[in-house]
Amino acid sequence: MAEPLSARWGPYRAVVASRVRSQTSYRGGFALDLVSSLLVGVVQLAEVLVLFHSVDSLGGLDLAAVVLVFGIADLSFSLADLVVGHLDTLPVYLRSGTLDVFYLRPQPLLAQLVTSDISLRRVTRIVVAAVALGVGVAVNDIAWTPLHVAFLVLVVLTSALTFAAVFVAAAGVQFFLVDAAEATAAAVYGGRYAATQPASVWTGPLVAVFGFAIPIAFTAYLPVVALLDLPGPGWLPGWAGWLAPLAAVWMWGVALLAWRSGVRHYQGGGG
Amino acid sequence: MRDDGQPVQAAPHPTTPTPGAATWFRVHGRLVAAGWRRGSTYRAAALGGLVANVTFGFLKVSVLTAAVAAGGGELAGYDTRAVIAYAWLSQALLGSVNLFGRIDLAGRMKDGSVAVDLLRPIDLQTSTTAQEVGRALFSLLPRGVPIVVLALAVGGMRLPTDPAVLGAGLLSALLAVVVSHLVVYLVAVTGFWTVETRGLQVFYMVLAGFFAGLFVPVSIFPGWLFALAQATPFPSMLQTPVDLLSGRVVGGDAAVALLVQLAWLAGALALGQLMTRAGRRRLEVQGG
């Protein structure tokens, strides 16, 4: 550990730079990727808007508040997806036995996997999310103080960490499931969808899973309730949203536990 | 990968260059059966899919019932029971209807093994679709049936008891499965020209999910967006079978809905034939 920090990160930087170059070399395909990725964000926002075309409020939130929830949830998920989203290709490595190659290199497994792919196409998702967040901030009547501003920035960052932890936890569980990869998609992409909803509409089992075990309610809905000074969902007081960063700490505890036990469980791909 | 073309070998080669209708049905029937058997080997994957479908089902039920409640007990013609049926039936069909745009053929186009498929004395489009439909129909057992059972157990869902309504619903579901795989075939065979079709596949997935009514029923779209959706085959893949199975659309309207599905089926079949014929002339396989 005596090496300087820059020397330790050097290899990762070189790898990431090469991934970026390789993706931009086929221009036509890259452009279609960017457009598709933009469309994913637009369609997800459209689903929210279509629902509000028929109703004025949902779970105690009006359209303005829901756009703010969507903006925070989508921006933090997209940031996490950009950095660690490709962890969900782990089952491909597990099945083909190519994960063993990573074990041969003198770098931590998780760090290698994270730098194994950076999908630039996901950048356009971030643009849609940022626009939604900007609109959400503008159309809501919030008494902005420095504390509120700092809280909003902190929430986006810690929620991104929460989603990143969900990706890592899901990858850890993949070591056990391998073929049943879609089961963890329920947590990752179900979690993304859940994060854009007003959690006050959830029933018992959903509150247990996405309210507390995987603390998705803390990524966007509860912070918005806190910012707008609204009543809570019934199973938590309105001020609970201020505790949002704690959700990231909890989720990273779960994630590291899942990842460690997964790596320990792995027996190699044979050969 | 274990999908090394085994099912295709199971099909007997027709002895005459222009087989009759009976032979056609026998060959394609065996391909459907082969696809069914192959689907039955991916049990863990089916279980994983079931977990995902159930999770999304609960999330959709909660948000859509809240929307109906906010609309005063009615949302564009849906009451609470209808919207619950919509959420669960669409999740039950999701394992069988191809809204994701992925199909084995895309990989075979990319690695060149489609050249071997084209040497076989059987139509590429119909043989591919028959196998995919067989596999999709098997998915109804581990993914479709448990979700319907769960939905009935959790309560609040309405299902028709009239055998005619139920029959029309099941026929519509079968048509939806076939139409979806025929359209995904069109996405895959663009690979004759571009080799890599992943970008187009993602494009298909985004549009298909939205316009099929995966998250919000197409029928509650605002007018202009509803018209746009109706101009695509996607509502025929999910909204239509769910409407018929839940008994929301019956009688003459159901007959029209079935005819629309048949029209999309015929259109996708014809376009696929044209594209396959044009693509054959384009195909160059390296190292042949």
Task: Tell me the pLDDT tens digit for each residue of A98-145.
Answer: 787 777 777 778 877 777 766 677 788 899 999 999 999 999 988 889
pLDDT at B176 > cutoff 90: yes
* Residue pLDDT, tens place only, B48-57: 999 999 999 9
B130 — pLDDT class (breaks 50, 70, 90): very high
Cβ contact, residue pair B199, A194, below 8 Å = no
In angstroms, the separation between the Cα of residue A152 and the nearest Cα of chain B is 25
Confidence of residue B236 (pLDDT cuts 50, 70, 90): very high
Question: Which segment of A240-244, B24-28, B112-116, B228-232 scores lowest on mean pLDDT?
Answer: B112-116
Instruction: Tell me the chain B residues in contact with residue A184 when contact means C-beta distances shorter than 8 Å.
Output: 48
Task: Check CB contact under 8 Å for A55 and B209.
Answer: no
Cβ contacts of A22 within 8 Å, gap of 6 or more: none
CA distance B119 to B129: 17
- How would residue A73 be classed by pLDDT, with cut points 50, 70 and 90? very high
Higher-pLDDT residue of A209 and B1 is A209
The SS3 assignment for A62 reads: strand
Residue A26: the pLDDT is 61
Q: Which range among A92-101, A132-141, B58-67, B199-208 shows the weakest confidence by mean pLDDT?
A: A92-101
- pLDDT at residue B229 greater than cutoff 90: yes
Q: Does the pLDDT of residue B1 top 50, yes or no? A: no
Cα A129 to chain centroid distance, Å, stands at 12
A29 touches chain B (CB under 8 A): yes
Short-list A230, A251, A254, CA closest to A240: A230
Name the minimum distance, in Å, from the CA of A209 to any CA of chain B: 10
pLDDT reading at B288 higher than 70: no
The verdict on a CB contact (< 8 Å) between B63 and A56 is no
Nearest to A187 by CA among A168, A200, A203, A201: A168
pLDDT above 50: residue B6: no
Query: Which of A35, A44, A54 has the highest number of chain B CBs within 10 A, making it the mutation to test binding with B?
Result: A54
Ordered alpha helix ranges (H), chain A: 5-24, 27-54, 63-84, 90-96, 99-104, 109-114, 123-139, 146-177, 182-195, 204-206, 221-227, 244-265
Q: Do residues B87 and A203 lie in contact, with contact meaning Cβ atoms separated by under 8 Å?
A: no
Distance CA B21, CA B287 (A): 37
pLDDT of B4 over the 70 cut: no
pLDDT for A85? 84
CB contact under 8 A, A57 and B70: yes
The answer to whether A163 and A122 are in contact (CB under 8 A) is no
pLDDT at B285 over 50: yes
Average pLDDT, chain A: 86
Separation CA B80–CA B49 (nearest Å): 26
In whole angstroms, give the CA distance from residue A61 to residue A77.
21
**B200 contacts A32? CB cut-off 8 A:** yes
Whether the Cβ atoms of residue B170 and residue B77 lie closer than 8 Å to each other: no
CA distances to B62, B67, B174, B198 from A53, in Å:
18, 11, 32, 33
B159 residue type, one letter: L
Is A197 in CB contact (< 8 Å) with chain B?
yes
Q: What average pLDDT does the segment B230-242 reach?
A: 97
Which of A227-236, B91-100, B179-188, B193-202 shows the lowest mean pLDDT across its residues? B193-202
The CA distances from residue A110 to A117, B58, B171, B271, in Å, are 12, 32, 48, 46
Question: Which region among A30-44, A91-105, A162-176, B154-168 has the lowest average model confidence (pLDDT)?
Answer: A91-105
Residue with the bigger pLDDT between B99 and B107: it is B99
- DSSP structure class, residue A58: E
pLDDT confidence of residue A99: 80
CA nearest B47: which of A180, A187, A188, A186?
Answer: A180
What pLDDT does A2 receive? Answer: 53
| Torsion angle of the four alpha carbons B79, B84, B86, B90, in this order, in degrees rounded to the nearest 10 | 170
Residues A244 and A255: their CA atoms lie apart, in Å, by: 17
The one-character DSSP state at A57 is: E
